[in-house]
């Protein structure tokens, strides 16, 4: 009986180790998708021109950001729906992912932009329209007081180049490997 109990303990320990390996293997695989976006989500050379008209919808503050995103989507989605293709990239913020004192209204407006985009993506996905939210953390803009660029704080041009690699990676992205890690 004792030998059987010991075998069961060993078997359960082995199963636990196997499940842990599988769990972290899946995590590593998902992370590698973001690390090597060009391999996992390569857009064709004609991807951006083949989507027809597309818009980058941005918003700078709580009232303007929400209203602008909502109005722009309302204006351009009917045409995309008729053509059965299009691409909308709504800009949110990494601040929407975490509580951030002193930026509560700004963060709330960015959460609105994310939820609007997710809802519209669910509605229009089958119609050939891609709606994605990009939620960067640090980009050297006027709002960030033009911080010195480095590995974590990218220039707007560098951030755009990086984030375009993730256009086909899902409903939401942070736009750069450094921001995904954050």
Rg of the chain over Cα atoms, rounded to whole angstroms, equals 21
Question: Are the beta carbons of 130 and 171 closer than 8 angstroms?
Answer: no
- The catalytic residue among 68, 103, 106, 166 is 106
Tell me, yes or no, whether 58 and 124 share the same domain: yes
- Report how many domains make up the chain: 2
Beta carbons within 10 angstroms of residue 76's beta carbon:
17
Report pLDDT for 17. 75
- The answer to whether residues 119 and 139 belong to one domain is yes
The pTM of the whole model exceeds 0.85? no
For residue range 97-122, list pLDDT tens digits in order.
888 888 888 888 888 888 988 999 99
58 shares its domain with 97 = yes
Angle at 167 between CA 164 and CA 88, to 5 degrees: 105
Give me the domain span that covers residue 8.
2-35
Catalytic residue at 146?
no
Is there a single domain that holds both residue 58 and residue 147? yes
Q: For residues 70 and 11, state if they share a domain.
A: no
Of 18-22, 68-72, 167-171, the one with minimum mean pLDDT is 68-72
pLDDT in tens, 128-172: 888 888 888 888 777 767 788 887 788 888 888 888 888 877 888
Give the CATH number, domain containing residue 110: 3.40.50.720
């Amino acid at each position: 009986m004792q030998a059987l109990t010991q075998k069961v303990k060993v078997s359960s320990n082995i199963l636990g180790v196997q499940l842990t390996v599988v769990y972290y293997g899946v995590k590593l695989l998902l992370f590698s998708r973001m690390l090597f976006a060009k391999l996992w989500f390569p857009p064709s050379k004609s991807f951006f021109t083949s989507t027809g008209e597309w818009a980058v919808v941005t918003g700078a503050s709580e009232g303007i950001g929400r209203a602008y995103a909502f109005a722009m989507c309302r204006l351009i989605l009917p045409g995309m729906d008729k053509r059965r293709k299009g691409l909308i990239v709504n800009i949110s913020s990494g601040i929407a992912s975490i509580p951030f004192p002193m930026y509560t209204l700004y963060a709330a407006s960015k959460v609105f932009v994310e939820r609007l985009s997710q809802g519209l993506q669910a509605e229009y996905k089958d119609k050939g329209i891609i709606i994605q939210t990009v939620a960067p953390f640090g980009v050297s803009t006027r709002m960030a007081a033009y911080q010195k660029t480095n590995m974590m704080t990218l220039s707007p041009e560098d951030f755009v180049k990086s984030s375009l690699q993730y256009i086909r990676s899902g409903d939401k992205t942070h736009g750069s490997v450094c921001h995904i890690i954050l």
